[in-house]
Every structure is written in C-alpha cells, then in structure tokens.
C-alpha cells in the first residue's frame, strides 16, 4: 500500500504563515503507520530482537519504507520519491518514536536523503549528478539503507568533526566514531577532508578496507558503531563547498525532525503512565487520584503541548524552506529533548517497581529519550546556537 | 442560525459606514447605530445587537470596522460585562432582563463587575457564605463580603452569587443575581496589593435589597448559571497572534542586548532556557489559535494560562536579578487605581510582584492542574467529603 500524500503546507497558507496543525493527509499517513506498527512492532517483539545484534526487522522496514513509500517522502517524484515534505516525514517519526521502533528511518530516510538532496542531483553539468540521483532513488525506495558517517552527537551549526581524509591517491583514510545505524547500512555517505575542503563520498559497507565495529549502545533500538576506512576507494558525490553545505542541511533537517520522534516518545510515556495510574490501586483508590501524582502528569502534558507546537513549527519551517528554520529547529530541540527525557523518567518513577523491570517497555523509551537528547546536538548545544541566531550573546562574546 | 455569511456582513458594515461616517459621527451615536444594526456581537439574537450569525464571523466585522477607523467600545474597560455578564444574561435572562441590560452593557454606558470570590471561598467557590434571604414581598436581602472585585468602584451593576439555602449541599443552595452597585448597603473599598496599587476591591454587602426580577435563572440553580460565566472567562483568552519576544521575555532580552556589563554566564543559561520556553509557549498559543479558527478547539487553552503564569514569574525574577543594583529600586509605591494591568509600562520590580498574581487569579495553578489531570487526562478525582453534606455543616 502506498499512502497518498500531498505537498507541504495546507492550501491557502502563506509561506510566512506557519501551519502548526496536522492536515487530513498527514492524519491518514499517521493512522497507516500506527496500525502497521501496532501489528508488527509491539513492545514484546522489540524486546525480543534488541539483544540479537540485529534489532531491525527487515520485513517491517520493507512494509514501512518500501510498500508504504515513507522512505521517499522527502524526495521529489521525478527523483524517485513521494514528493512530500518534512511535515509528513515528521508524522512518521512521531509514530516511530511512539512505538520506540528500531528502524533506520532518521538515519537513512532523513539524514542520508537530505545530504544527497543537497548535492545537486539535478545539476546535469556536474559529473557526480548521475551517481547522486541513482543513490537517491535507491534510498527513496527503501531497498537500500544508508548511514551518514558522522558521530551521532554532531549538531547543526557546529564545526564538522571530520576524521576521514582523502589521501593523495584519492582513497579514504580514517574513520568516524559513534555512527548511528552503521551496522545495518548497505552504503555509507562519508564526509572526507580533501586538499581544498570537505568532500563527500559514497562507500558500500561491503567494500574492501571498510571496518564497521558495533558498540554496546545505551539505546539498543538505535545501535551505534565505529567505522574505519583504510585505503578505501569511494564514489565522489560532491566537492568542497557543496559537500559541507549538504551535510549542514542534513543535520538541520535531522535535528528538526528528531524533535518529532522525541514528541512521539513523550506522548507514549504520558499516555501509558496515565493508563497505568488509572488502573493501579493502592490505599484502596487508584493512584492516579492522588493530587501529588496528578499534578506531575498534568505538568508533563503541559510540556508536551508546547513541545508539539515547536516540533510542528520546525517541520513546517523545514518544509517551506523558511529562513527561520535554524531558530525553529533550535527551539524544537530544546523543548522536545526535555519533554521526552522528563516524560520517560516520570514514566519509570510513576510505574513504581514494574518500571524498573526489563519486561516492561518503559526502559526502551527512557534509553531512547536519553540518547535522543545527545543525538544531533544536546539541548545546551542548541541553546548556544540560539544565542547567536537571536542575538543574545554570551558574556564572553564580543 | 440565519444564512448570514461573511459577504453579507461586509455589505451591512458598508451600509453602516455609509449612513454613519466615523469621521463625522459622534462616538456614542456610532456605537448605538452599530448595535442597532446587529453588528455589535453578530452571534447574539437580532434586536439585541446581533444577527444570529456564527460567532467566528465577528472577526470579519471587527476587521472591516477597524480598517475604516471606526471607534470601538473600549472592550478592555468593560471586559467583565462583555466576557462574563453578557453571555450569562443571554443564556439565562428573561426577555425583559436582556432588553434592559445588554445594550448599555455593550455600549459601555454601564460597567459591570463580578461578585463571586469571598475571603472564605476562593478555589472552593461553591462554599461561599454571602446570604440572600427572601423578604415578605418576595424580594431578596443580601449580607456578606466579596473580594478581588475589579471595576467595582466603576460599576453600575454586578453579577452576584449568594447562598439562598444553607440546608442543602453547597452546590445546590446558590442563586445568581444582578446586583445594583448604587443600592444602599453596597460599600466598595479598594484592596491594596503587593505592588502598591489597587486594581481590585473588597465589597461589603449589608442588607442590600435585590428585587426578584433581578434574579438570573431559578432559585437554587446559581451554580449551574455561574458555570456559563466561568466558561466564558476562559473563552475570552486567545485572540490575536503574538509576535516573537512579544511577552516579558522581550523586555529582558532588550536589557541583555543593551547592557553588556550586566551579563553573567549563569544568567545567560537561564535566559536562553527561558527564551526557548517562551517561544515554545508562544507557538503553542499560535497553534491553539489555529485550532480555534479551524473549528477544532482543543483542551490546550487551560495549558496556556499555566504556562504563562510560570514563565512570567521566572522571567521577571531573572530580570530583577539581572538588573543587580537597579533591581533594588522600585518605580512607584503610590496607591493608584489602574484600569488594567500594564506590565510593559512599569519597571522590573513591578513586573516581578504583579506576576505573582498570574498563578492565583482566574483559577490558581494548582486548581488548573487538577482540571487538566481530571478533564484532559481523565484521571480519577480525589475522594470528596463535601459533596453530600449540607452547606451549614461544612468545616469553615
């Protein structure tokens, strides 16, 4: 089944008039993703896979990414995608967060795809364009899974910690630490320092000289690996200037859309905790009737109301190419990181003893929330960026 | 509901403007003509300032009239009448009451106030103790004390709830009245606040006579009538779009930009966190506004008051600390009677003190959190000991 999605903002909205609601098409997409995940990614199934070293369910990815077409939401139709926007991808991520699903959506369908979209796939005079377009189409179909070879904590607006260099013979040397979803990827996009600046290469993980070393990750649903390259011959996708701008574009989109995943994490934690507290009885009454606990849940709900508005604004700003997107993303990361971590921590505490068990899925959300807080820039990183963007300089600046 | 649409309303506004050019028409005469044309509040009935049109279309009329430079009825001055008294009178008033009260209320000729809260009945409003006793002629005699009454010193009328039956549980023995603020026995005293000024009053009612035809709704049904009033208090929030840095955060941000010598690292972290939180709250307000426009009001309205109360307090607290030695000063302790709260027109110390009221007025944050938990999240209520006990036996 392919879900029909239409382009960016609702009809009649001006670019300067952000649409913070969900359109009917977006709600349809949400319902389709949610029902797929309810059937195929229930917590017991996820708990059963996360310790196998391969947490991904390939059949689920095929259904989600290929059959429903969600891997190509950000890619224009003429390049083999669905021609939707960040608004729709945000809805998919919300649902993936709500179910704490191990799936390489953020890494392959957002970070990798956005990097390639920044590499001018339609500039026919560029020699790299056909390869960029070929890769883009294969990631958009979901048949190939990719990862961007940068440390997961790299946020938009920071200097690229690029530890791969292009040797004199054109091969790649070096590596990248803490790369998300690298172990399951077919292809890596590698920013590499050349003589005139950062260039971008594509390398298959099966190629000679590539080593992918899985790490023991805090969040087992988004496993990390260190990757190393020794004399690896890659396909060049972009030269200096273009490559760095493409990576920065991807990091901004990734951070902005991660906010929606965090929103989904927070929403599950709140609704599951509310459900539990309505059922669990102590002292001859539901524990949810105690005011001290009720207020904690009401405050979480408040955080989520604000977080949802910031996540929607970030998605809309990315979709419309708004000049305000960097501010929108920094605000969304600040709000949604906090909302997700707080909701997951409260979820564990308010479940009491059961919240500390491996059997209950609360820990999946706590680990995802805490890892997401660091991914694509910590909240403090995003607030430092904000300080520059909105002219609130630090005491030492200037 | 009549078939009046936006185009028809625009036509009627054009007609009104043609017959009563705002440039040459006296303000009162223009407002009267607007009321009589049904363009005051279009969702009200014909003959009472409206046209039975959808409420959302009022925005069309307001925009057209504002663009034409027409005078308005100074809604901030008569907010309680417009936002609380009028919808209640419309819903529960007799035909005679509607004709008598609504027109001068909307025109601003008669200011209204609200006699609900009491020293012993704040969050637990239904516990109120002001008594209304029927006399031999069937009229009512009221004795008691009300508090936190804004505009009482300007008001011609009040909406009043009083206990008419102490022998039944508290929610059932209350009746709703319109009280003449010029009647003998009504005494209004300013209530000076921690800011030095007095926005509010205490109102003492001693043997105040209210004719039975100034009762709104049935005897003993006052709690239900009051729900209409209180619900409309919350609807009144919302309104227009707020720009970035439109709230108190904008004032601190300006100070930070203009006075580098005040900057400290720890304050910078707090400022950035609050800036991001204020922007998030602003976006949540904008999202709520879009939901209302789309015809899908969400429960987020109650979130906004909670969020802004906390933010205003934290931001103004940061502002005073940031100002350091200037934070030790206060602009003016003179006892004054302001007509509305003016955060931006006063200094940081005033903002810090006045913001303390944001988590108390219009429902304390603690009560609002209960409401969110029970009505939005559906959590069970606390076991209650007061529901079935006659009011006179309650602990006080």
For residue range A323-338, list pLDDT tens digits in order.
999 999 999 999 999 9
Mutate which of A12, A16, A298 to disrupt the B interface (most B C-beta within 10 Å)?
A298
The closest of A193, A189, A187 to A162, measured between CA atoms, is A193
Q: Which residues, other chains included, contact A221 with Cβ-Cβ below 8 Å and sequence gap of 6+?
A: A46, A50, A55, A100, A101, A102, A364, A367, A368
Alpha carbon distance A338, A311 (integer Å): 13
The CATH number of the domain holding residue A50 is 1.10.540.10
**What pLDDT shows up at residue A10?**
32
Question: Residue A132 domain-assigned?
Answer: yes
- Res. B344: pLDDT tops 60: yes
A67 and A200 belong to one structural domain? no
Lowest-pLDDT range of B101-110, B120-129, B198-207, B227-236: B227-236
3 state DSSP class of B276: helix
Beta strands at A146-148 and A187-194: parallel, antiparallel or unpaired: parallel
Selected residue of A23, A309, A391 to mutate for chain B interface (largest B Cβ count, 10 A): A309
Give the pLDDT score at B297.
Answer: 72
Look at A306 and B372 and tell me if their CB atoms are within 8 Å. Answer: no
- Distance from B183 to chain A by nearest Cα, in Å? 43
Which of A207, A240, A273 delimits the end of a domain?
A: A240
- Topology classification of domain B112-220: Butyryl-CoA Dehydrogenase, subunit A; domain 2 (2.40.110)
Whether residue A184 sits in one domain with residue A114: no
The rounded distance, in Å, linking the Cα atoms of A108 and A64 is 13
* Residue B233 appears among annotated catalytic residues: yes
Tell me, yes or no, whether A18 lies in a domain.
no
Distance from C-alpha of A251 to C-alpha of A266, rounded to nearest angstrom: 22
CATH of the domain at A169: 2.40.110.10
Record: contact B265-A390, CB cut-off 8 A: no
Same domain, yes or no, for A122 and A151?
Answer: no
Higher-scoring residue by pLDDT: B133, B299: B133
List of chain B residues whose C-beta atoms are within 8 Å of the C-beta of residue A383: 269, 272-273, 276
Among B263, B369, B377, whose Cβ lies nearest the Cβ of A395? B263
Q: Using only C-alpha atoms, what is the Rg of chain A?
A: 21
pLDDT at B2: 60
What residues of chain A lie within 8 A of the CB of B306, using their CB? 302
| A305 interfacial to chain B (CB closer than 8 Å) | yes
In the block, residue with structure tokens 């945000």: A90
Cβ A89 vs Cβ A109: under 8 Å: yes
A155 with A78, same domain: the answer is no
Nearest to B377 among A298, A331, A335 (CB): A298
Residue extents of the structural domains in chain B: 6-72, 112-220, 248-362
Residue A184 lies in a domain: yes
Q: What is the DSSP secondary-structure string of A227-295?
A: EEEEEE--EEEE-TTHHHHHHHHHHHHHHHHHHHHHHHHHHHHHHHHHHHHHH-EETTEEGGG-HHHHH
A41 SS3 class: coil
**Are the beta carbons of B156 and B181 closer than 8 angstroms?**
yes
Contact: B370, A294; criterion CB under 8 Å: yes
Are residues A175 and A48 located together in one domain of the fold?
no
Is A195 exposed, middle or buried (CB count within 10 Å of its CB: 0-12, 13-18, 19+)? exposed
Instruction: Give the distance, in angstroms, between the CA of residue A11 and the centroid of all CA atoms in the same chain.
Output: 27
State whether A394 and B265 contact (CB < 8 Å): yes
**A301 closest CB neighbour out of B279, B377, B383:** B377
Q: Is residue A102 part of a domain?
A: yes
Contact A144, A186 (CB under 8 A): yes
Same structural domain for residues A223 and A250?
no
Test A297 with B373 for CB contact under 8 angstroms.
yes
List of residues 6+ apart from A290 with CB closer than 8 A: B382
Structure tokens at A120: 């001018």
- Closest residue by Cα to residue A55 from A176, A289, A230, A214: A214
Length of chain B: 396
Distance between alpha carbon B128 and the CA centroid of its chain, in Å? 20
Is A232 inside any structural domain? yes
A31-53: pLDDT as tens digits: 999 999 999 999 999 999 998 87
pLDDT at A161: 82
Of A21, A298, A306, the CB nearest to B372: A298
Asked whether residue A269 falls in the same domain as residue A366, the answer is yes
Residue B361 phi/psi, 5° resolution?
-70, 145
Locate the chain B residue with the closest alpha carbon to A398: B260
* Cβ–Cβ pairs < 8 A, chains A and B: 131
CB contact under 8 A, B377 and A291: no
Distance (Å, whole) CA B389 – CA B166: 10
Phi and psi at residue B263, to the nearest 5°: -70, 135
B244-265 pLDDT, tens digit per residue, is: 999 999 999 999 999 999 999 9
Strand A197-204 relative to strand A187-194, pairing: antiparallel
Residue A390 touches chain B, beta carbons under 8 Å = yes
Find tokens 């779009």 and name the residue. B241
Who's near B320: CB < 8 A, 6+ residues apart?
A: B327, B348, B349, B352
Sign of CA dihedral A34, A104, A183, A160: negative
What pLDDT score was predicted for residue B138? 94
- Burial status of residue B167 (CB atoms within 10 A of its CB: 0-12, 13-18, 19 or more): exposed
Q: Which residues of B touch A380 (CB under 8 A)?
A: 269
* Count of domains forming chain A: 3
pLDDT in tens, B85-120: 999 999 999 999 999 999 999 999 999 999 999 999
Q: Who has greater pLDDT, B298 or B91?
A: B91
* Residues A22, A312: Cα–Cα separation, whole Å: 8
Which pair of structure tokens corresponds to residue A129? 């364009």
Tell me, yes or no, whether A4 lies in a domain.
Answer: no
For residue B236, give the nearest of B71, B55, B367 by alpha carbon. Answer: B55
User: What whole-number distance in Å separates Cα of residue A219 and Cα of residue A52?
Assistant: 14
pLDDT tens readout for residues A250-294: 999 999 999 999 999 999 999 999 999 999 999 999 999 999 999
Round the average pLDDT of chain A to a whole number and report it: 94
**Both A76 and A126 in a single domain?**
yes
pLDDT of residue B236: 45
| Residue B132 and residue B212 in contact, taking contact as beta carbons nearer than 8 Å | no
Residue from the list A294, A380, A384 with its beta carbon closest to the beta carbon of B373: A294
Domain boundary among A140, A166, A193: A140
Q: What is the DSSP letter of B383?
A: P
The pLDDT, as a whole number, for residue A16 is 59
Per-residue model confidence (pLDDT) at position A125: 82
Catalytic, out of B8, B109, B187, B233: B233
Q: What is residue B233's predicted lDDT score, i.e. its pLDDT?
A: 60
Distance in angstroms (rounded) separating the CA atoms of residues A31 and A91 = 10
Question: Which residue in A has a C-alpha nearest to residue B254's C-alpha?
Answer: A392
A55-111 pLDDT, tens digit per residue, is: 899 999 999 999 999 999 999 999 999 999 999 999 999 999 999 999 999 999 999
CATH number at residue A315: 1.20.140.10
- Residue A52: predicted pLDDT: 85
pLDDT of residue B240: 63
The residue range of the domain holding A313 is: 244-389
The answer to whether residue A180 scores a pLDDT higher than 50 is: yes
Question: What's the pLDDT score for residue B176?
Answer: 98
> Is position A2 within any domain?
no
Task: Of A280-284, B157-161, B196-200, B335-339, give the lowest mean pLDDT range.
Answer: B335-339
Do A327 and A197 lie in one domain? The reply is: no
Q: Which residues of B touch A16 (CB under 8 A)?
A: none
Domain termination residue (choose one: A119, A140, A161): A140
Beta carbons of A294 and B379 less than 8 Å apart: yes
Neighboring chain A residues of B307 at a CB cutoff of 8 Å = 302, 305-306
Separation CA B31–CA A256 (nearest Å): 49
pLDDT at A3: 43
Q: What is the pLDDT of residue B342?
A: 86
Contact B283 A19 (CB under 8 A): no
The SS3 assignment for B210 reads strand
Lookup: tokens for A338: 């906090």
**Contact at CB, B280 and A294, closer than 8 angstroms:** no
Average pLDDT over residues A186-208: 97
Q: Which of residues 7-46 of A touch B (CB under 8 A)?
A: 18-21
Residues from chain A that touch B246, judged by Cβ atoms under 8 A, are none
Residue B109 near residue B129, CB atoms below 8 Å = no
- List CB contacts (< 8 A) between A387 and chain B: 268, 272
A102 to chain B, closest Cα gap in Å: 29
Query: What DSSP assignment string belongs to A283-319?
Result: TTEEGGG-HHHHHHHHHHHHHHHHHHHHHHHHHHHHH
Judged on CB neighbours under 10 Å (0-12, 13-18, 19+), A89 is buried
CA angle A224, A227, A230 (to 5 degrees): 175
Task: For residue B269, give the H/E element and its range.
Answer: helix B265-293
Chain B hits for A289, CB-CB cut-off 8 Å, are 379-383
Place of tokens 């308010």: A350
Q: Which residues contact A311 (CB under 8 A, 6 or more apart)?
A: A90, A94, A259, A260, A262, A263, A332, A335, A336
- Find, among A264, A260, A261, A279, the residue nearest to A350 by Cα: A279
B275 contacts A386? CB cut-off 8 A: yes
Rounded mean pLDDT, A187-212: 97
Residues of A whose CB is below 8 A from B294: 21
Determine contact, residues A266/A303, Cβ cutoff 8 Å: yes
Sign of the Cα torsion B362, B368, B372, B375 reads: negative
**Cβ separation B290–A390 shorter than 8 A:** no
CB contact set of A300 (below 8 Å; sequence gap of 6+): A266, A269, A270, A273, A339, A342, A343, A346
pLDDT digits (tens, 9 = 90+) for A220-257: 999 999 999 999 999 999 999 999 999 999 999 999 99
Residue contact B287–A302, C-beta within 8 A: no
Scored b (16 or more CB within 10 A) or e, A202-235 reads bbbbeeeebebeeeebebbbbbbbbbbbeebebe
pLDDT of residue A13: 32
Q: Taking 70 as the threshold, does the pLDDT of residue A15 lie above it?
A: no
Whether residues A269 and A376 fall in one domain: yes
CB contact under 8 A, B283 and A306: yes
Give the confidence band of A11 by pLDDT, cuts at 50, 70, 90.
very low
Q: What is the pLDDT of residues B173-190, one digit of tens each?
A: 999 999 999 999 999 999
């Amino acid at each position: 089944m392919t879900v029909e999605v239409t382009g960016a903002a609702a009809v009649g909205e001006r670019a300067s008039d952000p649409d913070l609601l969900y359109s009917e098409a977006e709600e349809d997409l949400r319902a389709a993703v949610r029902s797929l995940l309810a059937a195929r990614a229930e917590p017991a199934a996820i708990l059963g896979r996360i310790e196998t070293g391969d947490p991904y369910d390939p059949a689920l990815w095929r259904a989600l990414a290929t059959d429903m077409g969600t891997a190509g939401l950000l890619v224009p139709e003429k390049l083999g995608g669905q021609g939707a926007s960040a608004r729709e991808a945000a809805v998919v991520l919300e649902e993936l967060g709500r179910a704490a699903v191990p799936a390489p959506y953020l890494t392959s369908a957002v970070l990798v795809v956005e990097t390639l979209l920044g590499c001018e796939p339609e500039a026919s005079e560029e020699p790299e364009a056909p390869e960029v377009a070929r890769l883009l189409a294969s990631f958009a179909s979901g048949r190939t899974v990719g990862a961007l070879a940068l440390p997961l904590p790299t946020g938009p607006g920071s200097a690229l910690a690029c530890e791969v260099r292009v040797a004199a013979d054109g091969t790649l040397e070096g590596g990248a630490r803490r790369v998300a979803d690298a172990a399951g990827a077919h292809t890596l996009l590698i920013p590499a320092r050349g003589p005139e600046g950062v260039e971008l290469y594509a390398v298959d993980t099966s190629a000679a000289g590539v080593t992918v070393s899985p790490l023991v990750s805090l969040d087992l649903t988004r496993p990390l690996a260190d990757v190393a390259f020794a004399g690896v011959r890659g396909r060049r996708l972009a030269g200096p200037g273009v490559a760095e701008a493409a990576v920065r574009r991807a990091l901004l989109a990734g951070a902005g859309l991660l906010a929606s995943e965090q929103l989904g994490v927070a929403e599950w934690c709140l609704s599951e905790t509310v459900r539990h507290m309505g059922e669990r009885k102590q002292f001859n009454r539901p524990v949810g009737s105690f005011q001290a606990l009720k207020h904690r849940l009401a405050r979480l709900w408040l955080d989520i109301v604000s977080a949802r508005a910031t996540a929607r604004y970030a998605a809309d700003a990315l979709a419309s190419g708004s000049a305000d997107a960097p501010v929108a993303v920094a605000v969304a990361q600040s709000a949604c990181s906090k909302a997700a971590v707080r909701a997951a921590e409260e979820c564990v505490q308010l479940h009491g003893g059961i919240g500390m068990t491996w059997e209950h899925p609360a820990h999946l959300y706590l680990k995802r929330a805490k890892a997401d807080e660091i991914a694509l820039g910590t909240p403090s990183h995003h607030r430092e960026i904000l300080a520059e963007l909105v002219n609130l300089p630090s005491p030492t600046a200037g | 509901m009549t078939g009046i649409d936006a185009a028809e309303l625009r036509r009627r506004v054009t007609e009104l403007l043609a017959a009563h050019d705002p440039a040459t028409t006296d303000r009162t005469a223009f407002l009267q003509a607007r009321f009589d044309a049904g363009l005051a509040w279009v969702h009200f009935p014909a003959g009472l300032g409206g046209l039975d049109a959808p409420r959302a279309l009022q925005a069309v009329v307001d925009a057209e009239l504002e663009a034409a430079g027409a005078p308005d009825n100074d809604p901030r001055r008569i907010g309680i009448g417009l936002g609380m008294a009028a919808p209640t009178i419309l819903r529960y008033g007799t035909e005679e009451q509607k004709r008598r009260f609504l027109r001068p209320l909307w025109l601003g000729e008669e200011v209204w106030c609200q006699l609900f809260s009491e020293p012993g009945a704040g969050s637990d409003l239904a516990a109120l103790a002001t008594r209304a006793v029927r006399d031999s002629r069937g009229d009512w005699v009221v004795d008691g004390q009300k508090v936190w009454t804004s505009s009482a010193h300007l008001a011609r009328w009040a909406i009043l709830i009083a206990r008419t039956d102490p022998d039944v549980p508290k929610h059932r023995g209350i009746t709703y009245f319109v009280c003449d603020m010029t009647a003998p026995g009504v005494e209004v005293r300013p209530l000076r606040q921690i800011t030095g000024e007095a926005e509010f009053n205490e109102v003492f009612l001693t043997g105040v006579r209210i004719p039975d035809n100034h009762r709104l709704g049935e005897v003993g049904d006052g709690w239900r009538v009051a729900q209409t009033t209180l619900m409309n208090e919350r609807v009144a929030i919302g309104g227009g779009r707020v720009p970035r840095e439109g709230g108190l955060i904008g004032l601190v941000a300006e100070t930070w930009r203009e006075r580098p010598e005040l900057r400290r690292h720890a304050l910078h972290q707090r400022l950035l966190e609050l800036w991001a939180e204020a922007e998030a709250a602003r976006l949540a307000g904008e999202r709520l506004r879009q939901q209302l426009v789309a015809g899908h009001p969400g429960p987020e309205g109650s979130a906004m008051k909670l969020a802004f109360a906390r933010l205003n307090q934290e931001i103004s607290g940061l502002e005073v600390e940031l100002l350091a030695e200037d934070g030790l000063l206060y602009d003016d302790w003179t006892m004054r009677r302001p007509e509305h709260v003016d955060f931006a027109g006063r200094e940081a110390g005033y903002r810090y003190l006045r913001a303390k009221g944001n988590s108390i007025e219009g429902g304390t944050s603690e009560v609002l959190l209960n409401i969110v938990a029970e009505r939005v999240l559906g959590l069970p209520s606390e076991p209650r000991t007061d529901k079935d006990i006659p009011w006179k036996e309650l602990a006080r």
